[in-house]
Structure 1
């Protein structure tokens, strides 16, 4: 394989990666905790894009409970987003793990 072929393949991969990153920014995952009382939605760029808190879970006498539910929902949504990204990267790289790529 000559250098021009390698460069062409690298450019194609870079284009596919950029396309996948744009697609991931549009895709979201949602996590629901506390029996659906708190929901967090995260996109493929690990940005929190939605947060739903039911009125019943808001208790001024127990802010720790609400904090814990929000943190659990956000952390779970972030983990789901990472799984979604890794699955897409696996398809792009043919299952090859390239550290630091995404």
Structure 2
């Protein structure tokens, strides 16, 4: 393969990568904990876009429980977002792990 062809393929890959990143940014994943009492939704940029807390879980006498549920829901949503990103990137790279990509 000549150098021109390699550069062209690299440019095409970069373009597909940019397109995929834009697409993933628009996708959302959610996670619920505490029997659905706390739900978090994040996008493909790992940004929290929604947090829902059932009023029954709000107990002024036990704020630690609510804090733990929120942290747990957000962390689970982040894990799901990362798995979604890795799955889509794997399709793009043919399963090859490229350092620094995800």
3-state SS of paired residue (2:12)? helix
What corresponds to 1:8 in structure 2? 8
Question: RMSD of the TM alignment (CA)?
Answer: 0.5
Runs (4 or more) in structure 1 with deviation over 3 Å come to none
Q: How many residues align?
A: 102
Aligned pairs (5 A) from 1:24-35: 24-35=24-35
- Residues 5-56 of structure 1, C-alpha deviation per residue, up to 9 Å, x if partnerless? 0110000000000000000100010000000000000101100001000100
Could you tell me which runs of 5 or more consecutive residues in structure 1 were left unpaired when the two chains were aligned.
none
CA shift for structure 1 position 92: 0.2
1:41 correspondence with 2:41: yes
TM-score (norm 1): 0.98
* Residue 89 (structure 1) aligns with: 89
